[in-house]
């Protein structure tokens, strides 16, 4: 595949130069020139008003895999200490839609120990089949054993799609499975769909710190694999009358486990994982001091939400790093995000701008945070927050 410029049609408008997300187009001799940084994404093809840019040879890649042999949508159903992760249920909700569009079955892969009685919950949330690998050796997450189970199941049953949560666990071992299966993996998808023409999975994700969106496909490889963050997809309401098959998977202890978890430490005060919170109250440097930052904690408590922070507030030492939202912290997608004393640096916006409702409180009416705020309050946080705390407290009785 390659992208070519027709010099007779190029008008030197340079639209393509600024459109290219990879900086791979230069002007040479008054015409657009595609450099070797080109990834053949086709953004310039769409952007050129003069149809001077073409993408050629798309059919040239030979299909090495018999794609029709791959059927069914799979979800890796992550659990912690026997409790099914909320992202797994969200993925079953999305997986159900994809499976219905493909007129195929939805299966869950459930790995752990003492978890078998939870398999019916996965069926209630949309799975037709649950593969349960329940073994004492699988109690703790282990890159080697978890990837061995999923890889061998996928090799045996040949699913066309595998979805997993973009959690610490998923991001650690799912790429190993993709590497082994020689297939594509798309991280942190924010939208999934089926291309009606080809049947391929359309995987859309943000790139360049959320500045652009890219839709990615794996046309000639199976399974098509994708990870999705917490809260991006919607859970289906559980239906306990749904019927499904629970299939026991025997775990062979012959897997060479080269790493071993000696101890797991849950951090004190870390009662809410911010990636899973429905409501987040976050503060930035504009809070001014550790003492003032307590207002953030108080409001979060009143709303039953979690505390978030910008890198600035974390660097000041007002709150631990595990609360940091943004490109170097966590990406969150709650129903409500209250940003107090946060100016809205692009790295912070990248981590929270897909929240459903955003309320921003800032003294500066031109602060960039207002560009993503559903409701903007211009004012001093020290004045606004106490009033909010009082009012919301009254409302919640």
Partner 1 sequence: MNIIVCIKQVPDTSEVKINRETNTLIRDGVPSIINPYDMYAIEEALQLREKHGGKVTAVTMGPPQAAEALKEAVAMGVDDVVLFSDRAFAGADTWATSYVLSRGIKKMGEFDIVIAGKQAIDGDTAQVGPETAEMLGVPFVAYVRKIEKVDIGAMTVERMMDEGFDIVETKLPVFITVVKEINQPRLPSLKGKMKAKSLKVATLTAKDIGAEENFCGLKGSPTKVVRIFPPAPRGQREMLSGTVDQQVDLVAKKLKEQTLI
| Footprint (CB under 8 A) of partner 1, residues 98-117 | none
In this structure, are residues 363 and 378 in contact, taking their beta carbons and an 8 Å threshold?
A: yes
Contact pick of 176, 242, 285, 363 for partner 1 (by CB under 8 A): 176
Q: Is residue 184 at the binding interface for partner 1, with CB under 8 A as the rule?
A: yes
- Residue 349: strand, helix, or coil: helix
The verdict on 353 binding partner 1 (CB under 8 A) reads yes
| 384 near partner 1 (CB under 8 A) | yes
Measured from the CB atom, the residue of 29 and 256 that comes closer to partner 1 is 256
Is residue 4 involved in binding partner 1 (CB under 8 A)?
no
CA dist list (Å): 298 to 210, 280, 334: 31, 12, 18
Nearer to partner 1, 50 or 375 (CB): 375
Give, as one character, the DSSP assignment of residue 285: G
DSSP 250: P
- Of the two residues 129 and 369, which places its CB atom closer to partner 1 in the complex? 369
Crossing angle of helices 143-157 and 168-181, rounded to 10°: 50
If the CB atoms of residues 247 and 346 are measured against partner 1, the closer one turns out to be 346
Q: Is 273 in the site for partner 1 (CB under 8 A)?
A: yes
Contact 227, 189 (CB under 8 A): yes
- Coil/strand/helix, residue 336: strand
One residue of 42, 93, 238, 288 binding partner 1 per CB under 8 A: 42
Question: By three-state DSSP, how is residue 164 classified?
Answer: strand
Considering only residues 134 to 163 of the shown chain, the ones binding partner 1 according to CB under 8 A are 143-144, 147
Q: Which of 133, 88, 128, 126 is nearest to 110 (CA)?
A: 133
Give the whole-angstrom CA distance, residue 3 versus residue 242: 50
> Toward partner 1, which CB reaches closer, 175 or 246?
175
Q: Which helix (H) or strand (E) holds 149?
A: helix 143-157
- Identify which range of 114-122, 125-133, 170-178, 236-244 contacts partner 1 by CB under 8 A: 170-178
Q: Which of residues 233-272 bind partner 1 (CB under 8 A)?
A: 258-267, 270
| Nearer to partner 1 among residue 232 and residue 388 (C-beta) | 388
Scanning 93-101, 122-130, 243-251, 321-329 for contacts with partner 1 by CB under 8 A, the matching segment is 321-329
By CB under 8 A, what part of segment 188-217 binds partner 1?
Answer: 188, 202, 206-217
Q: Which two tokens stand for residue 360?
A: 């921003």
Q: Which residue's CB is nearer to partner 1, number 220 or number 292?
A: 220
Site for partner 1 in 12-41 (CB under 8 A): 15, 18-19, 21, 23, 36-41
Distances (CA, A) of 369 to 7, 139, 332, 342: 43, 43, 16, 7
Of the residues 27, 63, 290, 387, which one makes contact with partner 1 according to CB under 8 A: 387
Question: Is residue 338 a contact partner of residue 384, using CB atoms and an 8 Å limit?
Answer: no
């Amino acid at each position: 595949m390659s992208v070519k410029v027709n010099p007779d049609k190029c008008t030197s408008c340079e639209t393509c130069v600024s459109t290219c997300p990879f900086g791979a187009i230069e002007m040479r001799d008054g015409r657009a020139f595609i450099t070797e940084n080109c990834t053949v994404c086709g953004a310039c093809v769409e952007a050129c008003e003069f149809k001077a840019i073409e993408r050629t040879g798309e059919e040239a890649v030979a299909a090495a895999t018999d794609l029709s042999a791959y059927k069914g949508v799979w979800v890796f159903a992550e659990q912690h200490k026997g409790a099914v992760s909320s992202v797994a249920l969200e993925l079953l909700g999305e997986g159900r839609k994809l499976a219905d569009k493909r007129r195929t079955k939805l299966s869950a892969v459930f790995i752990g120990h003492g978890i078998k009685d939870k398999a019916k919950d996965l069926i209630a949330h949309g799975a037709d089949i649950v593969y349960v690998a329940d073994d004492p050796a699988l109690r703790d997450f282990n890159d080697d054993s978890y990837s061995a189970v999923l890889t061998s199941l996928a090799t045996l049953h040949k699913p066309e799609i595998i979805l997993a949560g973009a959690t610490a666990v998923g991001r650690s071992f799912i790429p190993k499975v993709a590497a082994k299966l020689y297939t594509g993996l798309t991280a942190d998808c924010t939208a999934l769909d089926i291309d009606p023409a080809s049947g391929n999975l359309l995987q859309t994700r943000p790139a360049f710190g959320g500045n652009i969106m890219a839709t990615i496909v794996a046309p000639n490889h199976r399974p098509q694999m994708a990870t999705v963050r917490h809260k991006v997809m919607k859970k289906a309401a559980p239906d306990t009358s749904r019927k499904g098959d629970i299939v026991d998977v025997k775990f062979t202890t012959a897997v060479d486990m080269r790493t071993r978890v000696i101890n797991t430490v849950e951090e004190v005060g870390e009662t809410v994982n911010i990636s899973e919170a429905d409501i987040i109250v976050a503060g930035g440097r504009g809070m001014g001091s550790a003492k003032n930052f307590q207002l953030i904690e108080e409001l979060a408590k009143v709303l039953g939400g979690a505390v978030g922070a910008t890198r600035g507030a974390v660097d000041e030492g007002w709150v631990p790093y595990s609360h940091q939202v943004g490109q170097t912290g966590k990406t969150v997608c709650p129903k409500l995000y209250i940003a107090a004393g946060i100016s809205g640096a692009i790295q912070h916006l990248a981590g929270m701008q897909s929240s459903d409702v955003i309320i921003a409180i800032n003294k500066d009416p031109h602060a960039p945070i207002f560009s993503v705020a559903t409701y903007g309050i211009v004012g001093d946080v020290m004045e606004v927050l106490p009033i909010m705390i009082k009012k919301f407290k009254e409302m919640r009785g």
